[in-house]
Amino acid sequence: MSIEALEKAIEIVGGQSALGRLIDRDQKAIWAWINTTQKVPAEDVLKIEAAVDGKVNRYELRPDVYPKPTPMDKMRVVGGVKLNGNIKISGAKNAALKHMCASLLTDEPFILENMPVSLRDVAMLSQILEPLGVDITADKETAIVKLHAKEIKSHIAPYEFVRKMRASILVLGPLLARHHKAEVSLPGGCALGARPVDLHLKGLEAMGAMINLEGGYVKATAPDGGLKGADINFPLVSVGATENLMMAATLAKGETVLRNAAREPEIVDQGEALIKMGAKIEGLGTSEIRITGVKKLHGTTHSVIPDRIETGTYMCAVGLCGGELRLQNTRLDFLSALIAPLKEAGMIIEQEGDDIVVKRNQAKIKGVDIMTEAYPGLATDLQAQFMTMLTLCDGAGMISETIFENRFMHVPELVRMGANITVKGNSAIIRGVDGLKGAQVMATDLRASVAMVLAGLVAEGETIINRIYHLDRGYENIVEKLTAVGAQIERIK
Ligand code: UD1
C-alpha cells in the first residue's frame, strides 16, 4: 500500500476522522493502515476512491492489486515491417485465473510462478478474491503471485467486478466446497453471444448444492456436511464447467466423475496444481476425470504453463508479416492443431529447447481451411488471428467456428481495411487480397482486438485501434514485445 496516497486522501477530505466517517470505519482501522503493515482492504480502497472523487485512485492505494489506470485508450500501428527477434511468452492467462480461484480451497499459502502479473484480468480477479479473504501479493519482476486464503471472510462476488470477466464464475465451486455457501453475480466478459453457465450450476446441483437465481446473482448453499461426489455427464464440452466442478469435487465427500470433460492444457495444469495441494484426481487430459474428495487441501508452489494462445498469436503474426521470431519459454505440443495448417500454409516451425522458432520464407502463405474445436482441436481463441493471417493468402481459405456464436465480430473491421471475407452462418471464406489499408478500427472482444493489431502490422499506413481495454486483459506487454521485434506500435491518447 502507498501510505502517501492514503495521507493525500486524508488531507483532501479534511482529516482522519472525516475519512473515517465517509467510509464508515473507525479511527483505529485508519491508524493501522498508516502505522502498521496492514493494507487497506479492497472494499475500503473503493470507498476511499469514491470519497475523494477519484483524486486518489485505487492503483495509488494498492498498486500490488489494482492495475495502473491508463488514460491512453488507443493504439497506433504503422504497418509494413517484417518481424524479427525474440519474444518471451507469458504464463497462460486461462490457467492463471483458475489457479487464483483455487487458492480459495486451502487455508495455506498458494504460490504461483510464471504468472502474467500485469494482465488486467489478473488484477480484476484479485479485486474479487481479496474481499473473499484472499491475501494477495504480486511481484511483476519475478512474475510470482502469493495467494493466502487463511479464512473465508465473505462469500459474495459482486456484480461490479464479475460483470467484467466471465472467469469469475470460477469462485463458485471453491467457495461452495470450502465455505458451503456462495453468492456470485452472473458473469459478463467478452461479448461472444449467449454464454450461459447452466452446466456449472447443474453440476453443482448434482453434488447436492441448492441453487437459486435472484437479482442477477447465483445464490448457492452446500448440503449439511458439504458437497457430495456425483457422476456428471456434460452434454457439451465446457472448459469453465470442467474446472469449476473439478475444484468443487476436491473437497466433496466421495468420488466425482466428470464425463465428456474438457481436455485443455490449462485444465491439466490446474489439476496438477490441485494434486500438489493434496487432491486426488485421475484422468487429467482425458474426457473422463475422476476426483476423490479429501478433507483438506494444503498450500503449494506451482509454475503456470506458457500461454499457447499468445504463442499462436505471434505465429500468425509471422505468417502475416513475414520474418523470423524466436518465441521463448513456450511449448509446441500444446499447439498441434495450429501447427498443421500453418505448415500446410507454408510456414516453418520448430521447437528448440524451450523456444519455438517460426518463420515465413516465401512471399505469401497459401490459403488453407480450418475449423475450431474443443482441445485437442484448434482453439477458438486463435480463430480471429488465423483469419487475419489469411486475408493476404495466396488463393482462399475457409474458417468454421464451432464453439461460439457471434465470434466473427472482427470481420467487418477487417473488411474495412480491405479484406475480402464472406460470412455464411458459422463459416467464413477469406479470399486473399494484395494488401490491407490502415484504418480506424474497434474491437469488442479480446482476440478480435489482437486481430486488429495484427492487421495493423501489415496494413499500408496507420491503423488506430480504439478501445484497447480488451487487449490489456489478455496480452501482457504487447506493445513492448512487438516493438522489440521491429513493429511500429504505440499507445496514444
Ligand atoms: C474458456 C476460455 C475462453 C475460450 C473458451 C473455449 C477461460 C477464462 N476462457 O471459456 O478463452 O474461448 O474456454 O475454449 O479459460 N456453455 C454452455 N453452458 C455452460 C458453459 C458453456 O452452454 O454452462 C457453452 C458456451 O456458450 C460455449 C461452449 O459451451 O458455446 C464452450 O464454452 P466454455 O468451454 O465453457 O468456455 P469458457 O470456459 O467460458
Q: How far apart are CA 136 and CA 129, in angstroms?
A: 8
Ligand 1 atom with the smallest distance to the CA of 166 is 39
Integer Cα distance of 273 and 249 in angstroms: 14
CA of residue 370 to ligand 1 center, whole Å = 19
Please indicate whether residue 321 is annotated as part of the active site: no
Q: What's 74-90+306-492's CATH class?
A: alpha beta
What pLDDT is attached to residue 187? 74
Q: Is the distance from the beta carbon of residue 198 to the nearest atom of ligand 1 less than 6 Å? A: yes
Q: Is residue 405 in contact with ligand 1, taking CB distance under 6 Å?
A: no
Write down the pLDDT at residue 190.
47
Residue with the smallest CA separation from ligand 1 atom 29 is 238
Does ligand 1 have an atom closer than 6 angstroms to the CB of 430? Answer: no
Range(s) for CATH 3.65.10.10 in the chain? 74-90+306-492, 93-303
Structural contact between residues 428 and 408, judged by C-beta atoms closer than 8 angstroms: yes
Return the CATH number of the domain spanning residue range 3-61. 1.10.260.40
What atom of ligand 1 comes closest to residue 200's alpha carbon?
A: 23
Q: For 256-399, where are the alpha helices, taking DSSP H only?
A: 265-276, 308-321, 336-344, 383-390
Write down the catalytic residue from 101, 190, 316, 321. 190
Give yes or no for residue 473 CB within 6 A of ligand 1: no
Segments of the chain assigned to CATH 1.10.260.40: 3-61
Over the chain (493 residues), the average pLDDT of each successive run of 10 is: 84 88 88 86 84 84 75 86 97 98 98 96 93 95 97 91 86 98 78 73 97 90 96 97 98 98 98 98 98 98 98 98 97 96 96 96 92 97 98 98 90 96 96 97 88 98 91 93 97 85
Distance 269 CA to ligand 1 centre (A): 17
Q: Is 240 in the pocket of ligand 1 (CB under 6 A)?
A: yes
Q: Which residues lie below 8 Å from residue 50, measured CB to CB, with a gap of 6+? A: none
The pLDDT assigned to 353 comes to 95
What's the 270 CA to ligand 1 centre distance in angstroms? 16
The correct answer on CATH 3.40.50.1370 for the domain covering 93-303 is no
Which DSSP string corresponds to 134-196? -EEEEETTTTEEEEE-SS----EE-HHHHTT-GGGGGGHHHHHHHHSEEEEEPP--S--S---
Q: How far apart are CA 250 and CA 273, in angstroms?
A: 12
